[in-house]
Amino acid sequence: MAKKSALPQPISREADKIQFFSSGCTILDAALGGGWACGRVANILGESSTGKTLLGIEAAANFHLKFPEGSIVHIDTEAAFDPDYAETLGLQVDDIDLYEGFSTVEQIATLFDQILEDRESDASESPCLVILDSIDALTTNAEVARSMEDGTFGLEKAKLLSQLFRRYIRRMNAAGITLIIMSQVRANLNAGPFGKQTITSGGKALKFYVSQQLELQHLKQIKKTAKGNERVVGCMVKATLVKNRCGPSFRSVQFPLLFGYGIHDEGASLQFIVQSGRGKDVGIADSLAAATAFLKKVEASTPEERVQHVDKIREVAMKTWSDIESAFAPARSKYGDQD
């Protein structure tokens, strides 16, 4: 009798089909290829105050909406997670497992082992989302054991992170675990005038293993005047997909982040619609003034009317994105015309 092969068997096309959950922003979902990809690793990177943690909270809230039976693990390595603020953004904090006090890569590996063992022993088929905020705050056991005078060696951390991803990425995918990692970008002091001006900590392993990598940039502050006083109430952010295995890369979108609210999805979608010359599809002129006036009308409408307006705005935004992408698609299949 022939010996049965221990090699993995080919998977069916249906089994390999990617599921998505929303990022909280319609046009960002379109750019990502449908939203955050389930069972994959994603990386949100950017400078401070560009909305990395907020996008993680939005992702968790939308994950819970799509998969009520799923589990969410939030690993706070920066000791900066505010449960009250997260709840104002729509996250059900009581429904997530929040871990604090993790400071080393080795501790994260132990936690991953625990999560995987629990899911594999229970044969759980419900999806799981793990958010690591952030990878920059992690150190290593070797660095902790040294004195401050001995300095730090980033190479140790980079090697351990590379081992971490090699060891767990396939098991996490098989267990239906989605991992979203936050990273900070810093000035690259060794870059010349034409080199890349920013760098991330932890080596290059992360960018090789992620399926979606999103870089955030702060564009401007959003200010509001009330009762004679002016306050900053949010910021406009540009998000660029520097890597995407679930859709086209190097797509950019802009959206407003409002303090205490999150991503202003309708505002971002309407701005995109009117700038694309499709304002007539939602019944407005192609101008930002018309979009602002329409948003005020939507906010003042009844809850039922508002749902209808928001659904229409999202539908038109997705259709507009799809039409634009179709215009850039190749005219023919490379091998389709061959006999």
Give the C-alpha separation, 43 to 209, whole Å: 10
In a domain, 103, yes or no: yes
Beta carbons within 8 Å of 220's beta carbon, 6+ residues apart = 235, 236
> Domain check: are 241 and 271 in the same one?
no
- Which CATH number belongs to the domain containing residue 207 in this structure? 3.40.50.300
Give me the pLDDT at residue 192, please.
65
| Domain contains 51 | yes
| Torsion angle in degrees (nearest 10) through CA of 183, 33, 273, 63 | -70
Is residue 210 domain-resident?
Answer: yes
Q: Are strands 36-37 and 128-133 parallel, antiparallel or unpaired?
A: unpaired
* Closest by CA position to 177, among listed 100, 75, 77, 256: 75
Is 25 a domain residue? Answer: yes
Helix (H, G, I), strand (E, B) or coil at 292: helix
156 lies in the same domain as 296: no
Number of domains in the chain: 2
Same domain? 286 vs 217: no
* Encoded tokens for 328: 């850039």
- Do 254 and 296 lie in one domain? The reply is no
Q: Map residue 229 onto helix, strand or coil.
A: strand
Same domain (yes/no): 47, 108: yes
26 and 163 housed in the same domain? yes
- Check whether residue 278 and residue 319 sit in a common domain: yes
Tell me if 339 is assigned to some domain.
no
In terms of residue numbers, what domain contains 186? 20-222+234-258
Q: At what angle do helices 154-174 and 105-122 cross, to 10 degrees?
A: 10
- Indicate the residue among 242, 258, 274 that finishes a domain: 258
**276 and 218, same domain (yes or no):** no
Distance CA 289, CA 295 (A): 10
Structure tokens at 182: 């936050």
331 within domain boundaries: no
What is d(CA 293, CA 56) in angstroms, rounded to the nearest whole number?
30
Q: Where a domain ends, among 208, 242, 258?
A: 258
83, two tokens? 């449960």
- pLDDT, block means (10 residues), the chain with 339 residues: 59 70 97 96 92 95 94 92 91 92 92 90 84 90 78 76 91 93 80 68 83 95 94 96 94 95 96 96 94 94 94 97 94 74
- Is residue 337 domain-resident? no
Which residue from 238, 233, 306 is spatially nearest to 268, judged by alpha carbons?
238
Instruction: For residues 215 and 296, state if they share a domain.
Output: no
Same domain, 285 and 240: no
